Structure 1
């Protein structure tokens, strides 16, 4: 495995109640990235994505588009410290 990076993203728009987290998990598994996704009380979805840079960037691109039924308005991305997740999980609402 090459260099691993982790990114935290807050996704704003119509992103709750549309299967966003489940679709994100499926996409993450397809791309081979790990991390998690959860709804936030403010109506956004928060994610952390970890993996090799090209795969993380592909996942961030997917987050910017979202699944059918969503309407992503904005994705704010910040660097995070890799923590060695072994899967992509759906977490409880924060």
Structure 2
């Protein structure tokens, strides 16, 4: 399996709505490694790494997030895989 790595920055009402925890649980369900964190400007940043279709599913998920989120824009960057394992919520 070829691994891919995508990084997203999600804009909108995305903090205080369980975005990070739901992202972690959803990623683990798709067997996607990576991390998610809140940024000081009110956005959420996440890195997804794994099989291309699973990472694409997480990028799609980021466009709406959990119930209570209101996503207005998603910035996407493709990056070189880092060999990430597990999925963590970063401070």
Instruction: Bin the TM-score by the shorter chain.
Output: over 0.9
Report matched runs for 1:1-94 at 5 Å. Answer: 2-92=1-91
- Structure 2 gap ranges (5+): none
TM-score (norm 1): 0.95
Quote how far apart the aligned CAs of 1:86 are. Answer: 1.0
Instruction: Give, in whole Å, the separation in 1 of the partners of 2:86 and 2:52.
Output: 17
- In structure 1, stretches of 5+ residues that fail to align are none
Q: Whole-Å Cα distance in 2 between the matches of residues 65 and 41 of structure 1?
A: 20
* Two-structure CA RMSD over aligned residues (Å): 0.5
* Whole-angstrom CA distance in 1 between matches of 2:27 and 2:85: 12
Say which is worse superposed, 32-41 or 74-83, in terms of deviation.
Answer: 74-83
Aligned length: 91
Aligned counterparts of 1:80 and 1:39: Cα–Cα separation in 2: 20
Q: CA deviation at 1:91?
A: 0.4
Counterparts of 2:19 and 2:73 in 1: how far apart (Å)? Answer: 14
